[in-house]
Amino acid sequence: MSTWQAVRNNPAAICWSLVISTCVIMEGYDTALLGNFWAYPSSQKNLVTLSASQRRPKAATRFLRSGRLVLVRLQVSAPFLALS
């Protein structure tokens, strides 16, 4: 089978391969760029402003964290405990 015949016979496999390759490349760029953006003074100033404005009391944070943990446990255990 020639290359062109393989391309014609398997377009879904080629598209899947392109999507996965693009995801891997973008993940590499993302990890490299975020560190560089955080080094800029304007980003540091915005980050400090956001973290200072989003402070919650410890009780609220603990309540939200507990709620999220319960939700995750239910989502993970539901398929195993579901009736067929």
> Rounded to 5 degrees, what are φ and ψ at 30?
-60, -45
CA–CA separation, 34 and 51 (whole Å): 17
Give pLDDT, residue 26: 85
Give pLDDT, residue 15: 93
**C-alpha dist (Å) from residue 14 to 6, 28, 38, 47:** 10, 21, 36, 40
pLDDT single digits (tens) 52-77 = 556 666 677 788 888 899 999 988 88
Boundaries of every domain in the chain: 3-81
